[in-house]
Amino acid sequence: MSQPLPQSPPASASASGRSVAVIGAGFAGLSAAWDLAADGWSVTVYDGAAHAGGLAGGFRDASWEWPLEHYYHHLFQTDRAIIGLAEEIGFADRLQTLRPVSASFYRGKAYPLDGVVPILTFPGMPFIDRVRMGAVGAYLKLTPDWRSLEDVTAAAWARRWMGKRAYAAVWEPLLLGKFGPEHYEHVPMSWLWARLHARSFKLIYVAGGFQAYADALQRAVEGRGAVVRLSTPVRGIRRTDIGLAVAAGDGEATFDAVVATTAPHVLARLAPDLPADYAGRLADLEHLGAVVFVLALKQQLMTDGTYWLNLDKREMPFLACVEHTNLIDAAHYGGDHLVYMGDYLPPDHPAFTMSHDDLLAQWLPALQRINPAFRPDWVRTSWLSRAAYAQPVVPCGFSAHVPPLATPVPGLYLASMSQVYPWDRGTNFAVDIGRRVAAAVATDAVSMR
């Protein structure tokens, strides 16, 4: 059982004399709301979805005890921001530490690459290259420096220091799968450093799913007096003589400050008072979308216990196969074996407009390559989720182009996944940037008094 959520006296405009709207009830928005409410702001959170959580939100089939994320999620032991927030709201006992198997698919077989011994026994390169890759990986894990790595591509750096064979066998398929043929050779090494630096072999999952965490955070935020308005999409933000007017749902309200946790190009559309050159820079930030199937199977797909399987998109139609119930007991899901098929794709890719059945027909045969015994009648049912903004694309030198939290419009702030660089997208960095933008709002408000 989780501990009772700490209760705070409701915040009101009289506590600080200031009000703030937060657009988005994902982990960034709710984290910002948590801190701003504690600082005495009158906080209203808006979200067009029917539940909190954003891209970490879940759904529940009729036979399941726990909901499941639309898009696969887990935490690393190094994810201090989101673990620390769980401790603050009395939710830490719901975080389960696990040791799953993560592997890469090579010549028709899954090979773990999640430890020293698996790397040294991987057959995709000569032994000396395995030792070299392991040593360089350890260096990246231990070095705190990333700025010297952002002006060289991951492809060039990995070829030089890990070797051409290691790059071809491991890193090129990963980069190509993540960023596609248009971008993968231009991603800076600082991005790959961050991926390796922040990873842990053990993973953390939330008992009850990430939806349970989001719901608990929403309750905690409301316990501090904030108002969370779900199923209330924001239509626009405009300057007035007395503040920033937010049009949401069927009405409009005025606030001293607005925090948008939307995609940058969405804020550019919502806020016409942004200078044209700034809005243009937001709109020009590149990103990929996510297309993810969840399959409820009647039996286990990866019988060797593999949880996460990286795939080579030159040979397979999607980049990752994740068997969630090789991480979490299928008993929580009515005995279903739950498998994700996921990909990052340009927002204009045909996969975003294809029908569920047509796309499934394209992707499903790939599972027979993973397990030759697989048959389509193993699938009890399936769900398809698509998000146009899921993975920022970062070029070399991107730190010079990261938008600041404060926009040129006084009182309007942006906190998006395009601003967590060099770190990659994820709930941990959503919490971190949510709390950073809350601190910026509070600091700016003090300096303006």
Domain limits at 409?
13-97+207-285+399-448
- Our count of domains for the chain comes to 3
Q: What is the pTM of this model?
A: 0.92
Asked if 127 and 193 sit in the same domain, the reply is yes
Q: Give Cα separations from 286 to 235, 343, 388 (angstroms).
A: 23, 17, 11
Number of Cβ atoms within 10 Å of the Cβ of 59? 15
Question: CA-to-CA distance for 162 and 263, rounded, in angstroms?
Answer: 35
User: Which residue is listed with tokens 């879940």?
Assistant: 58
The tens-digit pLDDT sequence of the chain (449 residues) is 333 333 333 333 435 679 999 999 999 999 999 999 999 999 999 999 999 999 999 999 999 999 999 999 999 999 999 999 999 999 999 999 999 999 999 888 999 887 778 888 888 889 998 899 889 988 898 888 899 999 999 999 999 999 999 999 989 999 999 999 999 999 999 999 998 888 888 999 999 999 999 999 999 999 999 999 999 999 999 999 999 999 998 999 999 999 999 999 999 999 999 999 999 999 999 999 999 999 999 999 999 999 999 999 999 999 999 999 999 999 999 999 999 999 999 999 999 999 999 999 999 999 999 999 999 999 999 999 999 999 999 999 999 999 999 999 999 999 999 999 999 989 999 999 999 999 999 999 887 66
In a domain, 105, yes or no: no
Asked if 18 and 53 sit in the same domain, the reply is yes
Q: Give Cα separations from 124 to 104, 138, 163 (angstroms).
A: 10, 19, 12
Asked if 294 and 339 sit in the same domain, the reply is yes
Asked if 81 and 222 sit in the same domain, the reply is yes
Asked if 421 and 433 sit in the same domain, the reply is yes
Q: Which CATH number does the domain housing residue 341 bear?
A: 3.90.660.20
Asked if 211 and 332 sit in the same domain, the reply is no
Q: Exposed, middle or buried, 199 (CB in 10 Å: 0-12/13-18/19+)?
A: middle
Q: Give Cα separations from 109 to 134, 164, 185 (angstroms).
A: 21, 22, 26
Asked if 185 and 221 sit in the same domain, the reply is no
Asked if 30 and 172 sit in the same domain, the reply is no
Cα angle value 236/239/244 (rounded, 5°): 75
Number of Cβ atoms within 10 Å of the Cβ of 250? 7
Asked if 322 and 183 sit in the same domain, the reply is no
Q: Residue 184: how many CA atoms within 13 Å on its side-chain side?
A: 17
Q: Are 185 and 153 in contact (CB under 8 A)?
A: yes
Question: CA-to-CA distance for 446 and 439, rounded, in angstroms?
Answer: 11
